[in-house]
Amino acid sequence: MAKIKGLIPAKDITAENIVTLLNENRMTARIDDDGDILANVSGTNIIMDIKGPLLRMHAIWSVREGIRRDEVEELVAAVNANAPLVRCSIPKNPLAEGEGYRIWADYQLLRDGDLTTTKLLECIRYFVRWMNQALDEYDIQKILG
């Protein structure tokens, strides 16, 4: 595949092209069986997918057993109120019996406005940087399993 650079039209913002772009920029990335992109950015694993007009990136963590929901809510709320860009939530999807809470961190951008390769890479880097910063600054790391 030709090197991807410049403005990428929405129709070319595909999982395959994103993997190629990430690999060209020294990031490990592959497409899994579900069509999601599994990427490693500076040592941090994130998952990306394309849904309709959106390019979505996220990470998910399990909270240590015994941590109360209100404790998790408080930390998630602090990130959403103070950290740049990163959105955190406690997913409602049912968990297996006995499992604790999870924290979902994500950022989404529209692909149908066309994107530059630089912008796409910067969005991913910003997401990872600020997500890791939020983990440290808001003590989330302490409650993870």
Partner 1 sequence: MAKKESVALESIENSLLQTANLSPAVLTQIYTNAYIDAAADEQGEVSLTIDGIIINMRILQSEPLILLYAFWPLNPHVPMKDCLKLCNDINDHMSLVRCSVVEAQDDKPPFLWVDYVLVTKGGITSREIVGATRTFANAIGDGLARFGTSGMFAQD
Residue whose C-alpha is closest to residue 22's, from 3, 47, 46, 39 = 39
Whichever of 33 and 53 has its CB closer to partner 1, that residue is 53
Residues found near partner 1 in the complex (CB under 8 A): 7, 53-54, 70, 73, 76-77, 80-81, 84-85, 87-92, 104, 108-110, 112-123, 126
52 φ/ψ sector (left φ>0, alpha ψ -120 to 50, else beta): left
Q: Which is nearer to partner 1, 29 or 107 (CB)?
A: 107
Cβ-proximal residues to 58 (8 Å cutoff; 6+ apart), any chain: 46, 47, 48, 104, 105, 106, 107
CB of residue 128 to partner 1, shortest distance in Å: 13
CB-wise, 33 or 113, nearer to partner 1?
A: 113
